[in-house]
Structure 1
Amino acid sequence: MTPQVKICGLTQPRQARDCADLGADAIGLVFFPKSPRNVTVEQARTIVAALPPTVAAVGVFVNASFDVVMERVIRCGLSMAQLHGRETPDLALRLLNEGVGVIKALFVDGTPGLNDAAAYRADAFLVECAKGPLPGGNAMVWDWGAARDFGTRHPLVLAGGLTPYNVADAIGAALPAAVDASSGLEASPGHKDLDKVARMLAAIRKTGKAYAGRRLTPVFRPRGEDFDG
């Protein structure tokens, strides 16, 4: 009984497969040109094709249109879309109606905020602070406990500043259904340090006692079948 794990910002098929083999439940692929972790459609197709069907392939979008998201979903074999900007509830609903899993990002210090969750239908809500130059956690540690009450009412994916060395404290503070890490596991932007990934997953596996008496429901939708690219 421990949180699921999403490793985000992958750019290489072999590293994505290695993260999955180490125990990641989901892999995040960033479709945002301003990000140093941005991937092309062809890169994403190759990465998804390398993943086992039990692992969710999540596309991360920032204020993209329905057509753009669906084009990436279909061409790349994504099972979920993470909406990381100011997307409307209508967009989230349209994606769900197409069978696409939805993770909506909310921000403790930004817009949309935690109080906006009621307007959205989503598989889960990713919560982080909003204090950096780009959408995302920007490697910034914040008061993870500020999301704990939210997580009692909504499926919570905790993100922002997570590393192998603080993830257990973050989990203890917020008790999320899942955690999402990116820059805290990197050797350089887009290139994961697999030793850090292994250390983080090992730390997460030791957090079960914090969930005594609680039930965790999986939030990531696996692909369910092989995608050949």
Structure 2
Amino acid sequence: MEIDKKDRSGGLRYIPQIKICGLTGIDNALSCAELGADAIGLVFYSKSPRFVKDDQARKICHALPERVKRVGVFVDEAFESIMQKVERCGINAVQLHGNEPPQLVGSLRKENLIVIKALFLAKNPEFDDAVNYGASAFLAECGKGALPGGNALSWDWETAKKISGKYPLILAGGLTPENVSQAVSLCLPNAVDISSGVESAPGIKDIEKVKLFISKVSESSYTKRPRRIF
């Protein structure tokens, strides 16, 4: 999707990129891409209701247009296991959603991958950890539980300004078509990430909700020039 637009005075305003996470079907993923998603997230954590097997993930990745980034979501997996899925499925970005060490981030970045590290705490994201990681971007989410993402838990988005001015930031956690404009205006993220907020069932996106969400993001903008993540 376009990252900038002009306001009424002719000045440039910037629109966050969009990641739709937790997809499990080819047609569903293609529909999200056609609507303007910049990245599609595939969950490789077997305990998640949005878990996708390697064969299906490969089919989804190969069907997507080149411009759309394929993000593999992992929880405390070893480097070798992640790289097997990267090579087997055609993933070009990795999201680490567990307690992974900074060394793993460095090893994955050496493989020319976009590496996203999730930061979270019980009530608000723990931003102090960001300084220890050389990630391509950080995903801010609250309410870390047994499953990565899709928890529909919102938090004080304005606190994310602590990190959005220092590092590329993906805003997640409780986003919906109804509140994403407010969230963007409060923390000025480089990208937004949604899963359960546009679902009809776990792993299946309601395309009308996706369309509305992308429309609302397109209406949100800011004057800060963001760094592209995807």
**TM-score of the aligned structures, taking structure 2 as reference length:** 0.91
Residue identity in the other structure for 2:70: A
Inter-partner Cα distance in structure 2 for 1:18 and 1:136: 21
Segments of 5+ residues of structure 2 without an aligned counterpart are 1-13
Q: Secondary structure in 2 aligned to 1:81?
A: strand
Asked if 2 retains the 8 angstrom alpha-carbon contact of 1:63 and 1:83, the reply is yes
* Aligned partner of 1:142 among 149, 155, 159: 155
Q: Does 1:154 align with 2:154?
A: no
Q: Secondary structure in 2 aligned to 1:215?
A: coil
1:109 shift after superposition:
3.4
Count of aligned pairs: 217
| Alpha-carbon distance change, 112 to 184 in structure 1, aligned in 2, over 3 angstroms | closer
Inter-partner Cα distance in structure 2 for 1:141 and 1:112: 11
Q: Does 1:215 align with 2:225?
A: yes
| Alpha-carbon distance change, 137 to 17 in structure 1, aligned in 2, over 3 angstroms | closer
Task: List per-residue Cα deviations over 1:74-120 (Å, max 9, x = no partner).
Answer: 00000000000000110000000011110000014379821011111
Q: Which residue of 2 aligns with 1:41?
A: 54
Asked if 1 retains the 8 angstrom alpha-carbon contact of 2:125 and 2:142, the reply is no
> RMSD between aligned alpha carbons?
1.4
Query: With CA pairs under 8 Å and 6+ residues apart, which has the higher RCO, 1 or 2?
Result: 1
Asked if 1 retains the 8 angstrom alpha-carbon contact of 2:149 and 2:195, the reply is no
1:137 shift after superposition:
5.0
Moved over 3 A (4+): 108-112
Q: Which residue of 2 aligns with 1:192?
A: 205
Segment of structure 1 superposing worse, 141-150 or 104-113: 104-113
Inter-partner Cα distance in structure 2 for 1:31 and 1:68: 11
Q: Which residue of 1 aligns with 2:133?
A: 120
Segment of structure 1 superposing worse, 143-152 or 58-67: 143-152
1:149 shift after superposition:
2.0
1:196 shift after superposition:
0.3
Residue identity in the other structure for 2:129: D
Segments of 5+ residues of structure 1 without an aligned counterpart are 221-229
Q: Which residue of 2 aligns with 1:27?
A: 40
Task: List per-residue Cα deviations over 1:134-176 (Å, max 9, x = no partner).
Answer: 2325111211111112101110100011111111011111110
Asked if 2 retains the 8 angstrom alpha-carbon contact of 1:108 and 1:114, the reply is no
Segment of structure 1 superposing worse, 161-170 or 109-118: 109-118
Task: List per-residue Cα deviations over 1:189-221 (Å, max 9, x = no partner).
Answer: 00000000000000011112xx12x1111111x
The percent of aligned pairs where both chains have the same amino acid is 52
Residue identity in the other structure for 1:50: A
Aligned ranges 1:64-213 → 2 under 5 Å = 64-109=77-122, 113-136=126-149, 138-208=151-221, 211-212=222-223
